[in-house]
Amino acid sequence: MKVPVTAQLLDGKSLARTIRLELRDEIVEFIENNGEVPTLAAVLVGNDPASEVYVRNKVKACDEVGIHSRMFRLPADASQDDLLALVAKLNRAKDEPTHGILVQLPLPKQIDSTRILHAISPLKDVDGFHPENVGRLVQGAPRFIPCTPYGIQQLLVRNGIETAGRHVVVVGRSETVGKPMALLLMQRGAGADATVTVCHSKTHDLARLTRQADILIVAIGQPQFIKAEMVKPGAVVVDVGIHRTDAGLVGDVDFPTVSQVASRITPVPGGVGPLTVAMLLVNTLAAARAQQ
């Protein structure tokens, strides 16, 4: 049975397509002016099925816009030193330029993800996770913005959703989404100037805070956690989660009930996910320009 939706859907899939079309023209111009093709190196360790799909989607998106992708695979039992050696090689790549480096997470348990992400050159860190790039974001002078928060900001801006002076509640404090999302919204300028509250697993009376949000961004990693009674009527709801269940793919938000309360809401799938990939491409072109 199809659930009736009263909230307006925020179509991330359509917006990602628009961004890719814009990028295609910019990349053609870059190649004509520099004689070099923006290049992304994607590194996959092991054979995790979800990671395989994510990397394949990213490589396909590169091909669509004219970015050259280089795929590097290591076995599941690869050592941390093996991966560090590959990252070091890509950092100094001269014979075949590599402008951006993406190491797909999660990594096998024998590898320290933080050590690997910190080893990537900050000039090639198109995921925006290197401490130097995180520090630049904190200071309001970002080089590369983490792709999911960047995509959410574009979703808000391009749909005419005002953030200045609005109360934004971010549920989740991960290094990849929650923290950078809050930092991005606190900056000055378009898609920012918000008053931000960050909630997490230790927050008391979470529902009291989520009900105050003009814009509610949920990245808590629990399927259908946010219910209608936790949402302010008329709020904008952005769902970052994606979970495979017996009923199909669902997000961190209980879409059937929350869509009856919110004014705008992202679907799962087709909301934030496609924009994450699109902004990876944007960052790769930015890296190529910075390295000229």
Catalytic residues: 58, 104, 127
Instruction: Report helix, strand or coil for 168.
Output: strand
Q: Helices 147-158 and 12-34: crossing angle, nearest 10°?
A: 110
Whether the ω angle into residue 122 lies within 30 degrees of 0, i.e. cis, is: no
Q: Helices 272-290 and 12-34: crossing angle, nearest 10°?
A: 10
Residues constituting the chain: 292
Give CA angle at 220 (214, 221), nearest 5°.
Answer: 140
DSSP string, 229-244: GGS-TT-EEEE---EE
Left, alpha or beta for 163 (phi > 0: left; psi -120 to 50: alpha)? Answer: alpha
